[in-house]
Amino acid sequence: MEIIISLLSWIFRNILWINILLAILLIFFERRNPTTTWLWLMVLTFLPGIGFLLYLFIGQDLSKKKIFEIKEEEDYCFSDIAAIQEEQMKKDEYIYKDPNYIKYEDLITMNLISAESFFTQDNNIELYFDGYDKFYSLIKSIEEAKEFIYLQYYIFKSDNLGKRIINLLCEKAKEGVDVRLLVDGMGGRRFARKYIDKLRESGAEVAIFFPAIIPFISLRINYRNHRKICIIDGKEGFIGGFNVGDEYIGLSKKFGYWRDTHIKIKGSAVASLQWRFYLDWRFATGAEMTKCQTYLTEETASSGIQIVSSGPDSKWASVKNGYLKMISNAKEKIYIETPYFIPDDSIFDALRVAGLSGLDVRVMMPCKPDHPFVYWASMSYIGELLEAGVKFYTYEKGFLHSKVVLMDDFVSSVGTANLDIRSFKLNFEVNAFIYDETINLKLTDRFLDDLKNCKEITLEEYSKRSKIVRIKESFSRLLSPIL
């Protein structure tokens, strides 16, 4: 006890020098974005001691290179295919099944180069906007699985829905099906240990991405695996916004109806999802890589898809760049559904320019926050964009968790990445960039249908905000680089 008291006393006496040392490390070693650097310097200056603890919990980035060194060394399964496609497109030798793809070749090429996301043209897509529909389809696919079931979720709760899936996975594992479940260490805090043991006893494998050192307390808020991926027998792949828990099927008293978007893919794009799972599984378990499968399916459908991943281990912010390219290249419309709206400068400027250019730009957000600071920070960005002609809506029926971006009448993005700085830089995300007029139309129709349950935020109404609300927004906006 005396040692602890002496240590605390020493820290208190030398807090100024500790802050100076942290400031030096922050400026000269981490090479952050200047805005983020100034924010942390302000926190360290005005909250000595407390700022130091906050920095340890959510700020430190020095170990990033070491943490992801193994991931940087991995050879991507489809790098050769991506390189061949890139070369063919540069020489105008690539054969497109749909001539409309040619209009968006710059977006396709960017995803090829920045994310080695090869382009597939033989996919069938099913859309899910409701948790019951998504999990009914997933459970049916799991029941019919013959070879393997790979599930990856940010949040996996052992509540009624979670236990139903767990029991089914146990049954399939006992049948000899290769069952693997990967859950994030922070998002999976409510995944009870007894159910992990139950899965393992049945023969299923369970891995935790960045597990907490202390049970139920994760000290690493950054670098969370926010991906939601399911692959069944290499033939079906699920990707989107739904996690596993009763709230995602509308059973939460706090949030009520849960509005989200998920897709099921059949086609060659499933192989890319499967490889994404392998890479994350290897990082979490240290297991040797499974042999890459680059087979093409026999699907006769014609939806074009690129599976684009990004995270703190990526050289490029590929998903964000995809969003930016869609917004910048749009000629008619940009429709966005996102639970969190904290754009960086590039996305903010692109939306402002699109609005000033007379495009139909609409952004839909939740009416109720699940994270108050994030909500108020989101609201702080709206004013200038309203003046530029961008329209904003709040979803009133329940909680909007959908992550969808629609460009004109052909390109759509559905996945796990929010329109916020955390998804762009700090979390592991994955999105499907879809090139298909029919899918875009279905997503557009759903967006317009959702507007019936929305309230528009007008510039006049926004200008009448109280001083208390403005103070909340201003304070939260200062924290936006780390939210």
Positions marked catalytic: 226, 228, 233, 401, 403, 408
10 Å CB burial of residue 71 (0-12, 13-18, 19+) is: middle
> Which DSSP string do the residues of 28-39 spell out, in sequence order?
HTS---HHHHHH
By residue count, the chain amounts to 483
Can you state the angle between helices 160-174 and 193-202, rounded to 10 degrees? 20
Burial of 215 (0-12, 13-18, 19+ CB in 10 A): exposed
Describe the chain by its helix, strand, coil percentages, rounded to 5. Answer: 45, 20, 30
Q: Which residue has the tokens 């955390």?
A: 422
Contact 342, 419 (CB under 8 A): yes
Q: Distance (Å, rounded) from C-alpha 446 to C-alpha 22?
A: 49
Give the single-character DSSP code of 217: B
CB 417 within 8 Å of CB 424: yes
- Asked if 236 and 265 touch (Cβ cutoff 8 Å), the reply is yes
Residue 401 identity (one-letter amino acid): H
In whole angstroms, give the CA distance from residue 148 to residue 167.
Answer: 16
Task: Say which residues have a Cβ less than 8 Å from residue 229's Cβ, sequence separation at least 6.
Answer: 150, 151, 152, 237, 238, 239, 273, 276, 277, 430
Alpha-carbon distance of 300 to 303, in angstroms, equals 10
CB-based contacts of 461, cutoff 8 Å, min separation 6:
none
